[in-house]
Amino acid sequence: MPDPIRLAVLISGSGTTLQNLIDRTADGRLSARIAGVVSSRADVFGVERANRAGLPVTVVPRSKGFADRVWAAVQQIQPDLVCLAGWMHLLPIPDDFQGKVLNIHPALLPAFGGKGMYGRHVHQAVLEYGARVSGCTVHFADDTYDTGPILVQKCVPVKDGDDPDTLAARVFQAECEAYPEAIKLVADGRVTVQGRRVVISG
């Protein structure tokens, strides 16, 4: 049996997505190993979650040379795959990590994506637009916001009476399934990127 895929998880906030990955790797639903966590802030609960799980954490605060220092921290982890999990900064992808960085977005891209579209802002925009469905998107990260090739999407209904919080909770449940599914597809070697299109074999 091959070794579990090694993950580096990048966070900037409370770490709910990180916790989902911790739980699923711990109980065997996801055959992966979180080899390290990189946080852009020291004072967020995601760091506490990582510490509680016994995961090595590197904090890289935003300052001059931020991207280079982030990737230096990631390289120390030696991951097979990098998972952005509530990472709040545009991070240019160096050549040696092209096609090895995933991000999850709380809407059905290409709708409701781009700069400034994160967290509650996304769900508010979905409701204001009057969309009848929302969901989440796992995509390969590139050098702009929310534009990389799409790997997994899951839909949820937008219900009458929803507010940003109720919609966010429903979308997050979809995220909890979508991100592990995407990681497993990569780990199983079933993913090929052809331009903007992701081809899944088998």
Q: What is the pLDDT along the chain (202 residues), one digit of tens a residue?
A: 678 999 999 999 999 999 999 999 999 999 999 999 999 999 999 999 999 999 999 999 999 999 999 999 999 999 999 999 999 999 999 999 999 999 999 999 999 999 999 999 999 999 999 999 999 999 999 999 999 999 999 999 999 999 999 999 999 999 999 999 999 999 999 999 999 999 999 8
Give the alpha-carbon dihedral of 83, 200, 189, 150, to 10 degrees.
-20
pLDDT of residue 1: 64
Model pLDDT, residue 87: 96
Q: Could you tell me the CA-to-CA distances from 62 to 16, 24, 67, 171 in Å, in that order?
A: 22, 30, 9, 29
Burial 155-169 (b: 16+ CB within 10 A, else e): ebebeeebebeebbe
pLDDT tens track for 92-103:
999 999 999 999
Report, as residue numbers or ranges, the catalytic residues: 105
CA distance 14 to 27: 21
Hey, what domains does the chain have and what are their CATH numbers? Answer: 1-91 (3.40.50.170), 103-190 (3.40.50.170)
